[in-house]
Amino acid sequence: MATSTPPPPSQQPPTTSSTSTPPTSTAATPLSPTDPTYTPPTIFSFPPFFTLQPNPTTRSSQLHSWSTHIQSYARSHRLFTLSLIDALPTPSLFTNPTISRSLSLRDARAVLNFMASPEGGNRAEWFPTSSSSTAKKTGAAGDEAGGGKAWIYWRRPEEWAAVLEEWVDRTGQKGTVLTLYEIVESDATRREEFWGMESELLVRSLGICVKRGKAQIFGGEGSEGVKFF
């Protein structure tokens, strides 16, 4: 991508791309107010950043930059999933109102597809929109259905498993049966990164702990407990 300082907005050349202006639909609303503790990267103020470039090298760099930005935003806001349609108008995420730029739905899908790929580090995963085995195996479904919904893995499940194991060691809770509520919703864990995590992601992460021989899950769906060893 170009590294020169862009001219002031008044000198920007006209563009016919639909990505040059934020979405005008009022159907979608931002996910949340802008977090004052999160500062987007400098490139977020560069208008061409909001249109994916055709040059393969430039595009790859751009996709990596978008992935890093989205992960940082999600971590700052403790977001574990994104509904793409709802997320598009969100300031400091996909939209920069200061320079009147927003990533298009098509390009946002491309970014998340990249994040969901091995090249992108498997940092996202689409929610399946059908019961087909292909959708479940690839995690690619949802890409075409109204923008779709995806997990955003600023920590992948195996990384969350390690975080949970470290927390248990640090707090001396080996051998204690813990409910899922205690892990992600109690005041005792409010300062932990996994506080507020969706139960499905928590169960998946705990399942990795089980496979590692570090934990055992008790009870049925909706009333699970876990004991770490």
* Residues 121 and 161 reside in one and the same domain: no
Residues 206 and 147 in one domain: no
- Residue 223 confidence class, pLDDT cut points 50, 70, 90: confident
Tokens (6 digits) for 56: 């393969």
Mean pLDDT, residues 77-89 taken together: 94
What range does the domain containing 122 cover? Answer: 9-152
Based on the domain organization, do 143 and 175 belong to the same domain? no
Tokens of 183: 């892990």
Same domain for 114 and 69, yes or no, is yes
Total domains, the chain: 2
Task: Please tell me whether residues 190 and 207 are part of one structural domain.
Answer: yes
Domain annotation covers residue 1: no
What pLDDT sits at residue 9? 40
| DSSP result, 68-87 | HHHHHHHHHHT--EEEHHHH
When pLDDT is cut at 50, 70 and 90, the band that residue 37 belongs to is confident
Residue 145 lies in a domain: yes
Domain boundary among 152, 167, 185: 152
Write the Ramachandran bin of 192: left for phi over 0, alpha for psi from -120 to 50, otherwise beta.
beta
pTM, entire model: 0.77
- Answer whether residue 112 is part of any domain: yes
Same domain, 171 and 202: yes
What is the average pLDDT score of the chain? 81
32/113 same-domain check: yes
Over residues 170-186, the pLDDT tens digits come to 999 999 999 999 999 99
User: Between these two residues, 132 and 87, which has the higher pLDDT value?
Assistant: 87
Domain of 129, CATH number, reads 1.10.10.570
112 shares a domain with 19: yes
Same domain? 212 vs 122 = no
Q: Are residues 141 and 56 in the same domain?
A: yes
Task: Please check the confidence at residue 99 and state whether its pLDDT lies above 70.
Answer: yes
Name the least confident of 95-109, 137-151, 215-229.
137-151
The pLDDT of residue 69 is above 80: yes
Which of 152, 167, 188 is the C-terminal boundary of a domain? 152
Task: Quickly state the pLDDT bin for 36 (edges 50, 70, 90).
Answer: low
CA gap 113, 198 in Å, rounded? 22
| Span 16-29, pLDDT tens digits | 333 333 333 333 33
Asked whether residue 93 is domain-assigned, the answer is yes
Report the amino acid identity of residue 179: T
Residue 73 reports pLDDT greater than 90: yes
Q: How confident is the model at residue 212 (pLDDT cuts 50, 70, 90)?
A: very high
Residue where a domain terminates, one of 90, 125, 152: 152
Provide the pLDDT for residue 38: 87
Q: What one-letter code names the amino acid at 12?
A: Q
Angle at 228 between CA 202 and CA 185, to 5 degrees: 40
Please report whether residue 4 resides in a domain: no
- Is the domain of 179 the same as that of 129? no
- Judged against a pLDDT cut of 70, whether residue 30 lies above it is answered with no
Q: Is the same domain home to 109 and 186?
A: no
For residue 8, the model assigns a pLDDT of 43
Round to whole Å and give the CA distance between 56 and 117: 16
User: Which residue has better confidence, 170 or 1?
Assistant: 170
Whichever domain contains 169, its CATH number is 1.10.10.10
- Within a domain: residue 216? yes
Q: What is the tens place of the pLDDT at every residue in 103-141?
A: 999 999 999 999 999 999 999 999 987 544 444 444 454
pLDDT at 29: 36
pLDDT score of 222: 67
Residue 215 pairs in a beta bridge with 228
Residue 189 lies in a domain: yes
